[in-house]
C-alpha cells in the first residue's frame, strides 16, 4: 500500500501531484472514514489552488453522504477550535503550512480538534488506494455545503478569554506582526486590537504568491520584521507560517528566537498560573536542552517525543495531559486552550508574561542559558541514515541518549541530534554547546561517522 500522509497532513505541488482528481479521490476516502451523516467543517489558507482543492475535496465528501460546512479563509487553529467546541465530527484544512508557495495540502482533523492519529491516517490511506466510493441514492445527495460564518471571531474571543486582558491593555504594547501574506492577517491584528496593542504590520495583505517572504518563519525569513521591530521601537515582533499554527518571536532588540526558547519561558509561566494541570511539558527531540535547564527549577518534567506536532498532541492527551507542548519550529500548544499548535494563542500568552512580570521581551529571553547552535544536513538514503544512527549509538554509548527519533546524545558540555528526515532523503544534524569550538568539533565527528555509511562501510 502507498503512503499519503507525511509529518503533518498530505502535501504536494498544485497541478502536478495535487490535482483536482487527487483531491476528489482523497475527499471520498476521508468521507468514507468519517461516515455517512458526519458533520465536517472545512477551511483553507490563502495558497494558490485552494479553491480548486477545496471544491474537489468537498465534492468527494458530499458524494459519501457527509454534511459539509465551509468556513472559507481561516487559520488552522481556528478550524480546530470550532471543530472541538461546536461538536463537529471532524474537520479538513486545505493548507501546506510552511511549505514553499507552489505546494498545497490537506490536514484531517478529528472531533477533538487534533489532527487524526497515525492509525487513522493509515485507514484513510487504505480507503484511498482501494478506490473507495459509495453508491448512494440520489435523494441523499440533495444537501449542498453550508457556509459557516463567525469562525474567526469565535477563535479570537477564545484566546482573549484565556489571558489577562486588563494587565496587557495597561502596558500599551506595540507589536510588529508578519502575517506571511496569509490567513493570520484575518486574526492576529484583530486579536491585538482587542488587547489594546498597537499593530505595525508587514506582509499582512493576502497574496497566494507569498511575495513578502517564504511562509516558513525562521531567522533568515524574518530579517525585515526584526529590522522593523528595532526601527519602530516595538516591544515584540511575531512571524507566522502560512496557516497560523506557528509563531516565531522577535524581542525588542531585534533578536529572533527559536520556538524551544520561547516555549520554555511560556511553559514555566503557565505552570505557575494554571496549577490544576500536570507540571509536565512535551517537546520534540529537536528542541534544545535549554528546555530542561530552564524548567527544572520550576519542577516541570520534560518528556521528549518524536518530531511532529500530531505526535506531541496525541501523546500529551493519551498520557494524562500536560501544561504545554511545543516545538523548536515555533509551534506552541497551550493545553488550557487546546491541544494543538496555535500561533495567536502563543503571542497573546507571551504578552501576558511580559505584562505580569513588568519586563521587556529581551529581558525574558536573557534569562535563558546561551548556547552556540549548529543545524545542518547530509544527503543520504534512509538506509544510510539508519546505519549512521547505529554507529553513533556505539560511539556515544557512555552518554545519556534519547533514541525515539534518530539518536539524541546529551554530553556534559554539548548535545547533538541525528535523525533521518521525514520529508526528504537527508540526515538532519542539530547540536548545541556552550562553546562554539566544542559543537563544531562534535558535529565534525558526527559527519565523519556518517561518511562511513555513505561510503558503504559501517554496519
Rounded CA separation 332/340 (Å): 8
Q: How many CB atoms lie within 10 A of CB 135?
A: 5
The tally of CA atoms less than 13 A away on the side-chain side of residue 342 is 30
Q: According to DSSP H, which parts of 9-117 are helical? A: 20-34, 50-63, 76-85
User: What DSSP element (H or E) covers 415?
Assistant: strand 414-420
Question: Burial code of 229-257, b = ≥16 C-beta within 10 A, e = fewer?
Answer: bbeeebbbbbbbbbbbbbbbbbbbebbbb
Task: Look at residue 309 and give its three-state secondary structure.
Answer: helix
Give the list of residues 6+ apart from residue 141 with CB closer than 8 angstroms, or none: 62, 63, 65
Pairing of strands 174-178, 103-110: unpaired
The residue annotated as part of the active site, out of 63, 97, 286, 287, is 97
- 366 annotated active-site: no
Rounded CA separation 175/251 (Å): 10
Query: The C-alpha cell of 326 is what?
Result: 511545543
Q: Mind giving me the DSSP string for 116-147?
A: PPHHHHHHHHHHHHTT------GGGG-PPPEE
Rounded CA separation 179/183 (Å): 7
Rounded CA separation 195/179 (Å): 18
Q: Answer yes or no: are the C-beta atoms of 255 and 249 closer than 8 Å.
A: no
Q: What amino acid positions are annotated as catalytic residues? A: 97
Amino acid at each position: 500500500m502507498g503512503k499519503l500522509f507525511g509529518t503533518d497532513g498530505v502535501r504536494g505541488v498544485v497541478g502536478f501531484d495535487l490535482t483536482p482528481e487527487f483531491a476528489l479521490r482523497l475527499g471520498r476516502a476521508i468521507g468514507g472514514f468519517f461516515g455517512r451523516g458526519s458533520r465536517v467543517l472545512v477551511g483553507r489558507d490563502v495558497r494558490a489552488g485552494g479553491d480548486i482543492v477545496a471544491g474537489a475535496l468537498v465534492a468527494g465528501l458530499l458524494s459519501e453522504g457527509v454534511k459539509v460546512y465551509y468556513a472559507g479563509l481561516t487559520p488552522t487553529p481556528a478550524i480546530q477550535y470550532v471543530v472541538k467546541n461546536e461538536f463537529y465530527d471532524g474537520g479538513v484544512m486545505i493548507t501546506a503550512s510552511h511549505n514553499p508557495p507552489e505546494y498545497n495540502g490537506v490536514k484531517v482533523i478529528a472531533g477533538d480538534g487534533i489532527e487524526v492519529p497515525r492509525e487513522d491516517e493509515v485507514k484513510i490511506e487504505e480507503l484511498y488506494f482501494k478506490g473507495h466510493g459509495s453508491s448512494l441514492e440520489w435523494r441523499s445527495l440533495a444537501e449542498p455545503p453550508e457556509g459557516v460564518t463567525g469562525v474567526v471571531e469565535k477563535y479570537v474571543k477564545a484566546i482573549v478569554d484565556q489571558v489577562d486582558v486588563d494587565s496587557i491593555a495597561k502596558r500599551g504594547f506595540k507589536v510588529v506582526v508578519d502575517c506571511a501574506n496569509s490567513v493570520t492577517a484575518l486574526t492576529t491584528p484583530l486579536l491585538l486590537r482587542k488587547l489594546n496593542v498597537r499593530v505595525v504590520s508587514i506582509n499582512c495583505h493576502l497574496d497566494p504568491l507569498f511575495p513578502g517572504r517564504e511562509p516558513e518563519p525562521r531567522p533568515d525569513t524574518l530579517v525585515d520584521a526584526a529590522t522593523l521591530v528595532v526601527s519602530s521601537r516595538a516591544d515584540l515582533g511575531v512571524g507566522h507560517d502560512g496557516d497560523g499554527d506557528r509563531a516565531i518571536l522577535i524581542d525588542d532588540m531585534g533578536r529572533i528566537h527559536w520556538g524551544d526558547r520561547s516555549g520554555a519561558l511560556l511553559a514555566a509561566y503557565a505552570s505557575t498560573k494554571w496549577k490544576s494541570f500536570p507540571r509536565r511539558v512535551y517537546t520534540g527531540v529537536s528542541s534544545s536542552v535549554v528546555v530542561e535547564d530552564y524548567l527544572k527549577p520550576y519542577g516541570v518534567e520534560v518528556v521528549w517525543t518524536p518530531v511532529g506536532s500530531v505526535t506531541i498532541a496525541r501523546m500529551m492527551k493519551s498520557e494524562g495531559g500536560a501544561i504545554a507542548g511545543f516545538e523548536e519550529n515555533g509551534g506552541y500548544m497551550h493545553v488550557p486552550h487546546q491541544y494543538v499548535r496555535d500561533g495567536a494563542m502563543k503571542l497573546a500568552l507571551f504578552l501576558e508574561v511580559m505584562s505580569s512580570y513588568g519586563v521587556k521581551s529581551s529581558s525574558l529571553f536573557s534569562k535563558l542559558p546561551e548556547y552556540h547552535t549548529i543545524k545542518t544536513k547530509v544527503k543520504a538514503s534512509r538506509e544510510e541514515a539508519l546505519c549512521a544512527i547505529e554507529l553513533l549509538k556505539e560511539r556515544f554509548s557512555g552518554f545519556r541518549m534519547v533514541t525515539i527519533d534518530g539518536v539524541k546524545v546529551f554530553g556534559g558540555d554539548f548535545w547533538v541530534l541525528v535523525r533521518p528526515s521525514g520529508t526528504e532523503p537527508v540526515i538532519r544534524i542539530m547540536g548545541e554547546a556552550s562553546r562554539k569550538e566544542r559543537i563544531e568539533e562534535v558535529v565534525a565527528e558526527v559527519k565523519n561517522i556518517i561518511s562511513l555509511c555513505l561510503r558503504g562501510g559501517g554496519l
